[in-house]
Amino acid sequence: MYEVKATHLTNSRGLACEIYPDVFVVQGGAVLSTYAGPANGYCPCDPLPPDVDAVFEIDDAQLEQAVHWATTIYRPRKR
């Protein structure tokens, strides 16, 4: 398990952390991206006010899914 700081709030009022530009892990297990499905370039989360100090836990599977999204977006070149 990993503890992450909440940086955003989802449309359904759930906590989210933007762990890579446009990739969010959500409390409860989801991973969202502005490039995924119905989001179609629209950010699915709103920034939290800077005075909010909330954290939540994510598991290995959720982190791996987020890394997959990040590498799909970034697509580093192989050398």
Q: What is the pLDDT of residue 77?
A: 59
Q: What's the pTM?
A: 0.80
* DSSP element (H, E) containing 73: helix 60-74
Lowest mean pLDDT among 18-27, 49-58, 64-73: 64-73
Q: What is the pLDDT of residue 63?
A: 92
pLDDT tens for each residue of 25-55 = 999 988 988 876 655 667 778 999 999 999 9
pLDDT tens for each residue of 1-18 = 999 999 999 988 899 999
Q: What is the pLDDT of residue 22?
A: 85
**Which residues, including other chains, have CB under 8 Å from residue 50's CB and lie 6 or more apart?**
none
